[in-house]
Amino acid sequence: MNESERHLQLLTETTKAVNSSLDLEEVMALIARKVAEALEADACFVYLYDEDGDALILRATFGAQLGEEERKPRMRIGEGLTGSSAAIRQPVMIPEGANLDPRFKAFKNLPEGEYESILAVPILAREKLEGALNVRTRHPREFSQGEIDLLVAIAGQVAQSIQHARLYEEARRRVRELEALAKISEAVSESLYVEESLEAIVKTTMQAVAATGAAIVLEDGRVAWPEGRSGAYAVRIPLRWRRRQVGELVCDKDTPFSDEEEALLGSIAHHAAVAIEHGRAVMRGVLAQEIHHRVKNNLQTVASLLRLHARAENVDAQQVLADSVNRILAIAAVHEVLTKRQDDDVELAELIEHLRVTIVQGLGSSKKVNTRLEQISLAGNQATALALVFTELLQNAIEHGGDNIAIELSRSDDAVELTIADDGPGISGEGKGIGLEIVRALVRDELHGQLELRNERGLRAELSFPL
């Protein structure tokens, strides 16, 4: 078999090998191996052209081990012997002392200096630069014109394989993007809770762009859902809803983001904005229902209290109205705190302080009221009962007690303890009246606790109930 026949056979075998796969990484590895074998070279390096960065990036090697540095070797067009070949669109051959050539470019993690000869050719597809490749030998070697022509022919076939692989990779990328957006759309449409939607969006985002970390940051600066870790590169995509920014999608990677990835993140950010507004709309509806339920229950409580007074004999109508006003204000205070916090728990210290100011001002009292309140959260229904109990006890202390009143709120294990003490004359007998009847009923039936009234340098009312 003469040289021409052998070269034709090598070209056929190499072409068949590189066309056997559409996976770009696999194609690059096959090219490096087959080209080195075809020309009986010690090493082969294959570079792909990055049009956005206008640089050649090393994608595969055969016969040489790449160092551990994360960044792959890259060179500008015209830089190095291989870059020079790409720039002039012609082969470049140095038979010996290649590392002494003034165009030679060294890389810390690539042992190119140990090779004597180099033959570099551009990878062209109809004059469009797709990359460049070179073969090297450790001993001096003058490549023949036939070998140069063979490598140029192989590079032409490689260019077609690279284009097909890139089209395939682009198609796969589009499929991954559509799958990611489909998952996000499903999460947004199916979940009634913002947190669940945002969790799905963040996790899908990380998978879609191979990110090291991602998070949704709301407009108030609160990080709604962080995942992963920070990277060397980060992008922040605004979440916009009807020309209003409702947050940001933050994404991190150890490598730069491509234009396609940023475009995908833009689409994901739109879905995230929809998820946030969708969840808020749902929660507004739920909140409206909850407020309606609370208002209805509160009005029923007011009606029950008024019926209780209506059944009593020898009552002072003006006093009944004044007492009812304070009870309604106590219920309103709980409602206000719940609505302001937009959750189901009430901070008791805040509630009691609010009630204290309202009652003292409403009664026009000049008595000294000292408070020592521990921060305790309580469910809304319990808070309403406690507000009514507190209002009755504090109003009683102001109207019938001494000049000094002390209020203490604390938590002991899983119980709440509330004490209201004054330095007045105390209580005679068991303490009767509609107000105390209401207090005892609420403590027993709503708080499931205990109330103790005792004379101790005045009246001391101690309430204890489980959380």
**Across 33-37, 64-68, 87-91, 440-444, which has the greatest mean pLDDT?**
87-91
Q: Does residue 66 have a pLDDT over 70?
A: no
Q: Does residue 326 have a pLDDT over 70?
A: no
Q: Does residue 410 have a pLDDT over 60?
A: yes
In the structure, what pLDDT confidence band is assigned to residue 122 with cuts at 50, 70 and 90? very high
In contact, 464 and 417? CB cutoff 8 Å: yes
Same fold, 3-170 and 312-466: no
- pLDDT for the residue 35: 83
**Measured CA angle at 41 (ends 37, 44), to 5 deg:** 85
Question: What is the rounded average pLDDT of the residues 218-236?
Answer: 82
Q: Name the nearest CA neighbour of 46 among 33, 21, 54, 38.
A: 33
Q: Does residue 141 have a pLDDT over 80?
A: yes
pLDDT higher for 340 or 350? 350
Largest separation between any pair of C-alpha atoms in the chain: 129
Question: How far apart (Å, rounded) are the C-alpha atoms in residues 52 and 406?
Answer: 74
- pLDDT for the residue 310: 60
In the structure, what pLDDT confidence band is assigned to residue 287 with cuts at 50, 70 and 90? very low
**Which residue is associated with the tokens 């309403």?**
384
Question: What is the rounded average pLDDT of the residues 407-422?
Answer: 87
Question: How far apart (Å, rounded) are the C-alpha atoms in residues 106 and 313?
Answer: 104
Residue 296 tokens read as 């209805």
DSSP-assigned states of every residue in 89-101: TS-EEE-S-GGGS
pLDDT higher for 377 or 278? 377
Q: Does residue 217 have a pLDDT over 90?
A: no
In the structure, what pLDDT confidence band is assigned to residue 423 with cuts at 50, 70 and 90? confident
Question: What is the rounded average pLDDT of the residues 318-325?
Answer: 65
Q: Give 245-260 pLDDT, tens digit per residue.
A: 888 889 999 888 887 7
Amino acid at 194: V
In the structure, what pLDDT confidence band is assigned to residue 91 with cuts at 50, 70 and 90? very high
In the structure, what pLDDT confidence band is assigned to residue 436 with cuts at 50, 70 and 90? confident
DSSP-assigned states of every residue in 378-406: EEHHHHHHHHHHHHHHHHHHHHHS-SEEE
- pLDDT for the residue 161: 77
Question: How far apart (Å, rounded) are the C-alpha atoms in residues 216 and 209?
Answer: 16
**Measured CA angle at 422 (ends 420, 426), to 5 deg:** 105
Residue 306 tokens read as 């008024």
- pLDDT for the residue 458: 85
N- to C-terminal Cα separation, the chain:
94
pLDDT higher for 431 or 60? 60
Q: Delimit the domains of the chain by residue range.
A: 3-170, 177-275, 312-466
Q: Does residue 79 have a pLDDT over 60?
A: yes
The listed CATH number (3.30.450.40, 1.10.8.60, 3.40.50.1580, 3.40.1190.20) that belongs to domain 3-170: 3.30.450.40
Question: What is the rounded average pLDDT of the residues 21-39?
Answer: 79
Question: How far apart (Å, rounded) are the C-alpha atoms in residues 356 and 374?
Answer: 15
Query: Which overall architecture, per CATH, does domain 312-466 show?
Result: 2-Layer Sandwich (3.30)
- pLDDT for the residue 286: 46
Question: What is the rounded average pLDDT of the residues 280-299?
Answer: 53
**Across 72-81, 219-228, 434-443, which has the greatest mean pLDDT?**
72-81
- pLDDT for the residue 178: 65
Question: What is the rounded average pLDDT of the residues 29-44?
Answer: 86
Packed helices 380-400 and 434-445: angle between N→C axes, nearest 10 degrees: 150
Amino acid at 54: D
Q: Name the nearest CA neighbour of 49 among 23, 15, 86.
A: 86
- pLDDT for the residue 73: 82
Q: Distance from CA of residue 378 to its chain's centroid?
A: 30
pLDDT higher for 32 or 197? 32
Tell me which DSSP letter residue 113 carries. G
Question: What is the rounded average pLDDT of the residues 258-273?
Answer: 81
pLDDT higher for 387 or 94? 94
In contact, 239 and 225? CB cutoff 8 Å: no
Q: Give 146-202 pLDDT, tens digit per residue.
A: 889 888 888 888 787 777 777 777 767 666 666 666 666 665 555 546 667 777 778
Q: Does residue 455 have a pLDDT over 80?
A: yes
Report the topology of domain 177-275. Answer: Beta-Lactamase (3.30.450)
Q: Partners of 214 in the beta sheet?
A: 227, 251
